[in-house]
């Protein structure tokens, strides 16, 4: 049985200076790439959009994803998490949360996380990079109320810190596209 995936892609990428969701890697945008990988293992795949939502939606044009509009995207990550949880299927017992700015993400990692979740359905699953637990991560139904209470630029990291979290190593997970130098590194400049 497939679980839902949520791709958090509403931010404006102010520090980068251009939408990180639309940065190309190997001929596809980062947003398209993560959505394509999520579709291989999850159903439904929801993409939370905010900044330049129509442009992002166009970048996903031929993928069977459900775009959800976060009208409060300027608040920060918490608003996207609230939007996502509110749009999840009512019978969802868990969900895989992803972001669109991790170039090292691949289908194998997603598969490993989901397999661990199938083996341990009552545990949260977190990726671990440089000693930090983060996304991609599987959160459980009992976490959804806590996500609805978040505010500002607060994410779900606090839910991933307890002893009831299984960790999956994510080599390269610390590489993301936050600043212009990150983009230069990605492009090998």
Give pLDDT tens digits for 155-167.
Answer: 888 899 988 899 9
CATH number at residue 172: 3.90.550.10
- Distance (Å, whole) CA 10 – CA 51: 6
> In the prediction, which pLDDT does 26 show?
86
* φ, ψ (nearest 5 deg) of residue 32: -60, -45
> How far from 110 is each of 115, 116, 163, CA to CA, in Å?
9, 10, 22
What's the predicted TM-score (pTM) here? 0.93
Which domain covers residue 170, as residue numbers? 5-186
When comparing pLDDT for 184 and 112, which is higher?
112
For residues 135 and 84, is the Cβ–Cβ distance under 8 A? no
Domain count, the chain: 1
pLDDT digits (tens, 9 = 90+) for 78-98: 999 999 999 999 999 999 999
Q: 3-state class of 122 per DSSP?
A: coil
Q: How many CB atoms lie within 10 A of CB 177?
A: 24
């Amino acid at each position: 049985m497939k679980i839902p995936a949520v791709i958090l892609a509403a931010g404006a990428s102010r520090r980068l200076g251009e939408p990180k969701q639309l940065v190309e890697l190997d001929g596809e945008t980062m947003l398209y790439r993560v959505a394509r990988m999520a579709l291989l293992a999850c159903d439904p795949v929801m993409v939370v959009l905010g900044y330049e939502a129509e442009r992002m939606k166009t970048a996903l044009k031929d993928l069977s994803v459900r775009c959800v509009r976060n009208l409060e995207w300027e608040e920060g990550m918490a608003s996207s998490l609230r939007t996502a949880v509110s749009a999840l299927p009512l019978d969802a017992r868990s969900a895989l949360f992803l972001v669109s700015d991790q170039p090292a993400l691949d289908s194998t990692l997603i598969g490993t996380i989901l397999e661990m979740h199938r083996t341990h359905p009552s545990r949260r699953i977190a990726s671990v990079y440089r000693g930090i637990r983060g996304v991609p991560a599987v959160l459980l139904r009992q976490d959804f109320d806590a996500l609805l209470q978040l505010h500002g630029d607060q994410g779900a990291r606090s839910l991933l810190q307890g002893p009831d979290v299984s960790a999956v190593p994510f080599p390269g997970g610390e590489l993301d596209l936050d600043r212009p130098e990150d983009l230069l590194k990605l492009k090998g400049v």
